[in-house]
Amino acid sequence: MVKVIMGKRGSGKTKQVIDLVNTAVNEEAGNVVCIEKGQNLRFNIKYSAKLIDISEYPMELSYESMFSFICGLYSGNYDITHVFIDSLYKITGADDDAKADEFLDRLAKFAEETGVKFTLTISDDIENATDGIRKYFI
């Protein structure tokens, strides 16, 4: 399962993610991971969620490296049940709609094969969403 929360900056996406992460920590039996760039969520996410600041890792920002990073996380911990990604375009370094569509489809296939749920935020006007992104809207 892949879900996307999309809206302009300041529209409340991060607050929604914080609530969803904290709910997942309370309700899910496995491990919850939240990936962000920077440390904006550090004091709002429950300590039992694994909070990852992607900028602490020396890797090229791209959709491919982000997918590989997620695969690496899962291969090291099969107990992961939910991965949250705050601000996909910022983390991947690109707001390329075609690449975002492909990335989301790859995540959906990965989710189907592993049972891991994904929730992502995208900072952009919802009017700009492609059909490939819209199919994952909450």
Angle at 95 between CA 5 and CA 73, to 5 degrees: 65
Domain 2-124 bears CATH identifier 3.40.50.300:
yes
Asked if residue 62 lies in contact with residue 94, where contact means CB atoms within 8 angstroms, the answer is yes
Q: Determine the Cα–Cα distance for residues 126 and 7; give it in Å rounded to an integer.
A: 5
58-117 per-position pLDDT tens digit? 999 999 999 999 999 999 999 999 999 999 999 999 988 889 999 999 999 999 999 999
pLDDT at residue 40 tops 90: no
Segments making up each domain of the chain, as ranges? 2-124
Name beta bridge partners: 35: 52, 85
Q: Where does the pLDDT of residue 57 fall: very low under 50, low under 70, confident under 90, or very high at 90 and above?
A: very high
Q: Determine the Cα–Cα distance for residues 88 and 62; give it in Å rounded to an integer.
A: 10
